[in-house]
DNA sequence: CGTTAGGTTGACTTGATTCAACAACAGTGG
DNA sequence: CCACTGTTGTTGAATCAAGTCAACCTAACG
């Protein structure tokens, strides 16, 4: 136990699955300066157009990315869990091109932009692990394009429920008995590109057909295989098992 | 003129706008080993599940990413232009999670995976430039989620036409008089998540309303501002002006 | 010069939206 | 303690955007 806090533990553990870090790298992560902040549900963490002065790490709670059309329709783009930096883009690109909001009450660590930039400059391995993170984010975006573009509401909902189940499970936030889905039906609609009224009907039908069991916002999946099939869900795109060899090792593999 | 070929010129130029490269970096890019290949329209460049042995650089022509649902519906995820590596993911993640096909006849350079991995390992600046590329790809994916999720077919089509116009223009493949859109109506439908029949009707209406003028697949935009407005298009997400300072400079900025 | 891929249009159907009403529930303040 | 208020969830009826099916047209090409 060499570090002073557990704020970055989840992030370090995640990065370890991407790239074997040196002790120096781990220490550099743990030594990042930060400021803790608690953010209420729906409060903005990043706003479109911002030139952020810090990167935000989710320590506890969930957050989501969204974009609003000129007509005022909101589209949710992704959901993020503890250990995720939600605006690395902000440290590397010029301006935020979308918004990030807290989904549940969040505890976040604000890390100054310069500290992130310096960390990336000084450690190729951490930069590499972060890069892989953005590649996986990209992969999830691609699957969401398919979900809103080519699946009907019923299949898309099943797919979304499968994705949440697997991701929350993988990070220890869900048992196979089910999980707490902390989204309103309006938010679910914004994630799927449909109206909240239709979300309601789709959930009702899934419940009626025995694909899910709802208790408030807690979702149980009695038959995973059935849900998986209706949603056309294949978890490859989540790259949950992602382990990359060191470049030098990979070159010899 | 120190290099032996112009294969990597576009890529070098693109990376220069992301990160000021050293002469060594430029040379390392130009010295990459490669094999040229010509690929006919619709032929696969990458297949889902592949563990690719090389990365593919588009030298000439256009390519697109796509994914097919279990029901057999195809969703196009992005379109790529000369200078783009279309499967860097393949060198960094375990398996390809989607397909890449040639849109037009393509000339591509196949670069061995180990050469890419070694390049990334040896040059932090090139890795950084590539990372920024994947961040921009992510930004474009996000906008596509909005496009298929929250815009009706008419607006989505205008938005897509605006995106192509700006990207092709930025890479010198379109004048402001218009551009060649080398996609069938079926492919346009697959990009927007609608049927080819509906694409046809939407294009007919846009033409009738004077938003576009079609001559075969050549598209002229008589009134850019009108098209931009109907599509709700804001080019920020393309990050066309992306210029990032060196980390050390950025830290002092 | 027949074959094929892509484009076009009409008639009909359907999945999802809209609008509107109401129920359940939590938080707030008198 | 209950009335008031706002948010979320629920349902029915009417409407609409997009899909389906099917016919036909055109241009490219071996």
pLDDT (tens digit, 9 = 90+) per residue, A90-125? 878 888 999 999 999 999 999 999 999 999 999 999
DSSP SS3 for A45: strand
Distance A181 CA to D10 C1' (A): 19
B27 C-beta neighbours (distance < 10 Å), count: 13
- Measured between CA atoms, how close is A59 to chain B, in angstroms? 23
pLDDT at position A242: 66
pLDDT at position A2: 45
Which residues in B lie closer than 8 A to residue A247 (C-beta atoms)? Answer: 117-118, 120-121
Distance B100 CA to C13 C1' (A): 35
pLDDT at position B177: 80
> Which of B149, B230, B248 has the highest number of chain A CBs within 10 A, making it the mutation to test binding with A?
B149
User: Domain B151-238 - what CATH class?
Assistant: mainly alpha
Inter-chain residue contact B94 with A124, CB threshold 8 Å? no
pLDDT at position B52: 86
| Length, in residues, of chain A | 253
In which band, very low, low, confident or very high, does the pLDDT at B243 lie, cut at 50, 70 and 90?
low
Inter-chain residue contact A127 with B132, CB threshold 8 Å? no
Least confident of A27-31, B84-88, B172-176, B178-182: B172-176
> Which positions in strand C are less than 7 Å from the protein's CB atoms?
5-10, 15-20
Q: How far apart are alpha carbons B64 and B42 in whole angstroms?
A: 9
3-state helix, strand, coil in chain B (%, to 5): 45, 20, 35
Q: What ranges make up the beta strands (E) of chain B? A: 35-39, 44-46, 54-60, 63-68, 74-80, 99-102, 106-112, 179-180, 213-215, 218-220
Quote the Cα angle for A81-A87-A89, to 5°.
Answer: 135
> Which phi and psi angles does A108 have, rounded to 5°?
-125, 155
At B91, list the tokens: 């060198």
- Measured between CA atoms, how close is B46 to chain A, in angstroms? 15
Mean pLDDT of A9-16: 92
**Residues B53, B112: contact at Cβ < 8 Å?**
yes
Interface contacts (A, B; CB < 8 Å): 173
Inter-chain residue contact A138 with B89, CB threshold 8 Å? yes
Q: What percent of chain B has pLDDT over 70?
A: 93
Residue B2 has pLDDT above 80, yes or no: no
Mean pLDDT of B228-246: 83
Kindly list the protein residues whose beta carbon lies within 7 Å of any strand C atom.
A 152-154, 193-195, 197-198, 201; B 184-186, 196-197, 200-201, 203-204, 217
pLDDT (tens digit, 9 = 90+) per residue, A138-169? 999 999 999 999 999 999 999 999 999 999 99
pTM: 0.93
- Homologous superfamily (CATH) of A4-123 is Jelly Rolls (2.60.120.10)
Which residues in A lie closer than 8 A to residue B124 (C-beta atoms)? Answer: 121, 124, 127
Smallest CA-to-CA distance from A50 within B147, B243, B236, B141 is with: B236
Inter-chain residue contact B142 with A232, CB threshold 8 Å? no
In which band, very low, low, confident or very high, does the pLDDT at B245 lie, cut at 50, 70 and 90?
very low
Nucleotide nearest the Cα atom of A151 (by C1'): C15
Inter-chain residue contact B145 with A148, CB threshold 8 Å? yes
pLDDT at position A243: 56
Q: Looking at chain B, which residues constitute the CATH 2.60.120.10 domain(s)?
A: 4-123
Inter-chain residue contact A139 with B250, CB threshold 8 Å? no
Which residues in A lie closer than 8 A to residue B127 (C-beta atoms)? Answer: 124, 127-128, 131
In which band, very low, low, confident or very high, does the pLDDT at B50 lie, cut at 50, 70 and 90?
confident
Residue A247 has pLDDT above 60, yes or no: no
In which band, very low, low, confident or very high, does the pLDDT at B246 lie, cut at 50, 70 and 90?
very low
In sequence order, the 6+-apart residues with CB closer than 8 A to the CB of B131 are A92, A127, A130, A131, A134
In which band, very low, low, confident or very high, does the pLDDT at A251 lie, cut at 50, 70 and 90?
very low
């Amino acid at each position: 136990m060499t570090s002073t806090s557990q704020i970055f533990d989840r992030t370090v553990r995640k990065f370890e699955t991407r790239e074997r870090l040196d002790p120096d790298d781990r220490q550099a992560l743990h030594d990042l300066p930060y400021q803790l902040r608690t953010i209420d549900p729906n409060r903005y963490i990043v706003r479109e157009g911002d030139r952020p002065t810090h990167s935000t790490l989710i320590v506890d709670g969930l957050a989501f990315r969204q974009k609003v059309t000129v007509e005022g329709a909101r589209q949710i783009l992704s959901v993020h869990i503890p250990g995720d930096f939600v605006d690395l883009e902000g440290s590397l690109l010029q301006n935020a091109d979308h918004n990030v909001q807290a989904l549940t009450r969040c505890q976040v660590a604000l890390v100054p932009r310069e500290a992130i930039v310096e960390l990336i400059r000084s450690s190729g391995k951490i930069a590499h692990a972060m890069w892989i993170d953005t590649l996986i984010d990209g992969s999830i975006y691609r699957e969401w394009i398919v979900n809103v573009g080519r699946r009907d509401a019923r299949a898309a909902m099943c797919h979304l429920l499968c994705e949440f189940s697997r991701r929350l499970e993988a990070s220890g936030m869900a048992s196979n008995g089910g999980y707490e889905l902390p989204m309103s039906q309006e938010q679910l609609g914004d994630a799927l590109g449909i109206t909240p009224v239709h979300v309601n009907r789709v959930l009702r039908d899934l419940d009626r057909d025995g694909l899910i069991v709802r208790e408030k916002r807690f979702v149980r999946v009695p038959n995973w295989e059935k849900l998986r099939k209706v949603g056309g869900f294949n978890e490859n795109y989540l790259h949950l098992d992602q382990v990359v060899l060191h470049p030098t090792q990979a070159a010899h593999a």
